[in-house]
A and B are shown apart, each in its own frame.
Chain A
Amino acid sequence: MAKMVLENVFKIYDKNVTAVSDFNISVEDQEFIVLVGPSGCGKSTTLRMIAGLEEISKGEFRIDDKLMNDVQPKDRDIAMVFQNYALYPHMTVYDNMAFGLKLRKFNKADIDQRVKNAAEILGLETFLKRKPAALSGGQRQRVALGRAIVRDAKLFLMDEPLSNLDAKLRVQMRAEIAKLHRRLKTTTIYVTHDQTEAMTMASRLVVMKDGFIQQIGTPKEVYETPENVFVGSFIGSPAMNFFNGKVVNGYFEVGKVKLKIPANKLTQLIDQGYNGKDMIIGVRPEHISEDASSLAKFAESTVNAHVEVSELTGAEIIIYSSLEGQQYVARVSSESFIQPGQNLKLAFDLDSAHFFDKDTESRIR
């Protein structure tokens, strides 16, 4: 159990290459924090700084109020799980799980108890005598988790632990890790590029880009109030739609198309001097609808759409179309029968839309 704080943390390599800039977070005991962002955004580097595998160039890292910057990685009471299982092919599952403890000079009885306990938690009791080659991908990943669990560490660090698994197994293991966290209650920092994984597992998300934190919040907060265009586009699948346009006489004009801005949002925009200025509007695919009630409710923000592509995903249909040359995606119920090439009317729910500054791409509050 641990509380963890990173304060103004930087990772700067030679020649002033900055991999992580001014990273700040205070993680409460038992939280499950997910660092999410595209390749090269600094999430793994941040994790490696916490582990002590990379030096912190600037800033402070504390666990339970103790400064950890100069504490040896082995003395930080941290356990790690990585994307590739990091198992020893010539050792049995039991020995793989016991090896780290043996290096730390735990006595045999203690090692045995910890390994058997972890095996029971992970359902690996019957596999302890097997070697990794005789296990499936999911079982190997469970052993990798077991190697971390036996340490009974204050902090779990997981770097894309599910990326090697196929889609079906990934979903299953995702649920298992969440269940494991509820049982062990160990503070966990989890790195992924997969926004679905991030949304479903995190108690809080840290969205990163180019070494900078873009937003920290619960999955719901990040999804519903993205701080900027990047967060809006990165979190959510299909991604948020963005349209360039301007506010003119109470409407958001995208070329010749006009969408009525709700009164409260309009006041906010005018007060901040956005009347007549170029800006960006973000609309989630589920906030574009074709049903009669939406068309009636948002009668002044409807558009004529030509369906370029439609994809039936089961309960929903994903529609691809464009508005004044700007591509967008809508997600509607599969009760509607929508075919490519069809023309239809779509309602844009601007109550749920997000407005961003054109220059800074930041959310307008």
Chain B
Amino acid sequence: MKTKLTELFPSYQLLSECPVEDDNESYIFHNTYTNNYMKIKKKEVSAREFALLLSLYKLITINTRASDSVSKKWIQFLYENGDAPVKETTDIRVIQLLYQTDTVKESDLEEAVTAYFGDSLQLVVLSSQEAVLIEQRSEYIQTVEDFSSFLVALESDFFINVKMYIGKFHSISPPFSSHFLTEKEWFSKGISTIRAERIYTMEKVFPFSLIAQMSDEMKEIIIKEVLLPINYDMELLQTMQQFFESGFNASVTAKKLHVHRNTLQYRLTKFQDMTGLSIRNFDGALVAFCASLIATEQ
């Protein structure tokens, strides 16, 4: 595929990250399936080829608006270790947004962000499909629930499917840019490993990443000791996973799974009986959690 594209378009470049700078001479297309970006010189693309590429991929418009704007400063800060746009003693985190449409107007998105978060978050639009929200550490830190509700508001008003990565707070002093670029990588990893998810964090992506790197021998042990005894019962595994994600709290787990507490208790006991793992202990829970991830991966 790559060779054929290179034959057609000699300037063709496959990128894992969306370019920040627009050279005005190239098209950037986003392959939403593989989450890669393709850069091709405009002069090499005929009208017919452009139409074909457009039907297969999303055309990305890099945000080059207002070269001296606050956004521009933030983009330079995030990507190129530029000067910090806010005072250097502050901790900030970056919330990345990826939306698969190019119909969102920046001013509309800005209005939604202000209406939702007030002045506490700064919106920086990176391209026609990507934006970031910058949050400074303050008395009130936005919660996952706040962001989740914001995504729903965007879905119902803008009719867009938004994916989000909530970064960690770091001091704004260098090397903040490297934190941001690492988090961008984690976001990409998350999207490719847990596609149905909408809000990603490092702690959500990390276990999946760990399983992806686990040796086959280690996986075999877990399959033999956990997955085969329960006959890959996905209902049991999802129950375990929800139990762990709910902090071992049976009431919260039962509520999230929409089952009666007794049903949950029955499933937990059944899992323990079949595998011999004591899931209320950290060691047993860790193995059970890995088992549920391996089963999902398979």
**Is B79 in the interface zone, CB < 8 Å from A?**
no
**Is B115 in the interface zone, CB < 8 Å from A?**
yes
Residues in B neighbouring A82, C-beta threshold 8 A: 152, 155-156
Stretch of A89-97, A107-115, A250-258, A330-338 on the interface side: A89-97
Of A51, A85, A88, which one neighbours B112 at CB under 8 angstroms? A88
Give Cα A147–Cα B145 distance, bound, in whole angstroms: 20
Give Cα A290–Cα B230 distance, bound, in whole angstroms: 40
Considering only CB atoms and an 8 Å cut-off, how many residues of chain B contact the other chain? Answer: 32
Q: Is the CB of B195 within 8 A of A103?
A: no
Of A39, A84, A89, which one neighbours B152 at CB under 8 angstroms? A84
Give Cα A40–Cα B257 distance, bound, in whole angstroms: 9
Q: How far is the CB of A160 from chain B (nearest CB, A)?
A: 10
Considering only CB atoms and an 8 Å cut-off, how many residues of chain A contact the other chain? Answer: 38
**Is A168 in the interface zone, CB < 8 Å from B?**
no
Give residues 73-122 of B contacting A (CB, 8 Å).
101, 103, 108, 111-112, 114-118
Which of A51, A84, A193 has most B Cβ within 10 Å? Answer: A84
**Secondary structure dominating the interface of B:** helix
Q: Is the CB of A15 within 8 A of B297?
A: yes
Of B115, B158, B256, B259, which one neighbours A90 at CB under 8 angstroms? B115
**Is A245 in the interface zone, CB < 8 Å from B?**
no
Q: Is the CB of B149 within 8 A of A84?
A: yes
Q: How far is the CB of A158 from chain B (nearest CB, A)?
A: 11
**Is A299 in the interface zone, CB < 8 Å from B?**
no
Which chain B residue has the least Cβ–Cβ distance from A100? Answer: B157
**Is B278 in the interface zone, CB < 8 Å from A?**
no
**Is A166 in the interface zone, CB < 8 Å from B?**
no
Which chain B residue has the least Cβ–Cβ distance from A11? Answer: B196
Which of B112, B117, B155, B296 has most A Cβ within 10 Å? Answer: B155
**Is B51 in the interface zone, CB < 8 Å from A?**
no
Q: Is the CB of B257 within 8 A of A103?
A: no
Give Cα A54–Cα B162 distance, bound, in whole angstroms: 11
Q: Is the CB of B148 within 8 A of A84?
A: yes
Q: Is the CB of B103 within 8 A of A74?
A: yes
Q: Is the CB of A53 within 8 A of B149?
A: no
Q: Is the CB of A38 within 8 A of B112?
A: no
Q: Is the CB of B159 within 8 A of A90?
A: no
Residues in B neighbouring A86, C-beta threshold 8 A: 149, 152-153, 155-156
Q: How far is the CB of B145 from chain A (nearest CB, A)?
A: 8
Which of B156, B192, B196, B296 has most A Cβ within 10 Å? Answer: B156
A38/B196 contact (C-beta < 8 A), A15-B297, A53-B161 known: no
A54/B161 contact (C-beta < 8 A), A14-B195, A84-B152, A90-B118 known: yes
Give residues 64-113 of A contacting B (CB, 8 Å).
72-74, 76, 79-82, 84-91, 95, 99-100, 103
Which chain A residue has the least Cβ–Cβ distance from B257? Answer: A39
**Is B65 in the interface zone, CB < 8 Å from A?**
no
Q: How far is the CB of B261 from chain A (nearest CB, A)?
A: 15
**Is B272 in the interface zone, CB < 8 Å from A?**
no
Of B116, B118, B148, B258, which one neighbours A38 at CB under 8 angstroms? B258
Residues in A neighbouring B294, C-beta threshold 8 A: none
Which of A19, A39, A81 has most B Cβ within 10 Å? Answer: A39
**Is A52 in the interface zone, CB < 8 Å from B?**
yes
A-B contact pairs, 22 of them (CB 8 A): A14-B192, A14-B195, A17-B195, A38-B257, A38-B258, A39-B256, A39-B258, A45-B196, A54-B161, A72-B103, A76-B159, A82-B152, A84-B152, A86-B152, A86-B153, A87-B153, A88-B153, A90-B118, A91-B115, A99-B115, A100-B156, A148-B156
Chain B interface residues toward A at CB < 8 A: 101, 103, 108, 111-112, 114-118, 145, 148-149, 152-153, 155-161, 192, 195-196, 238, 256-259, 296-297
Name 4 extra pairs, CB < 8 A, besides A17-B296, A84-B152, A90-B118: A17-B196, A19-B196, A90-B115, A193-B258
Report the 9 A-B pairs with minimum CB-CB distance, sorted nearest first. A73-B159, A88-B115, A193-B258, A74-B159, A86-B152, A86-B153, A53-B161, A84-B149, A91-B115
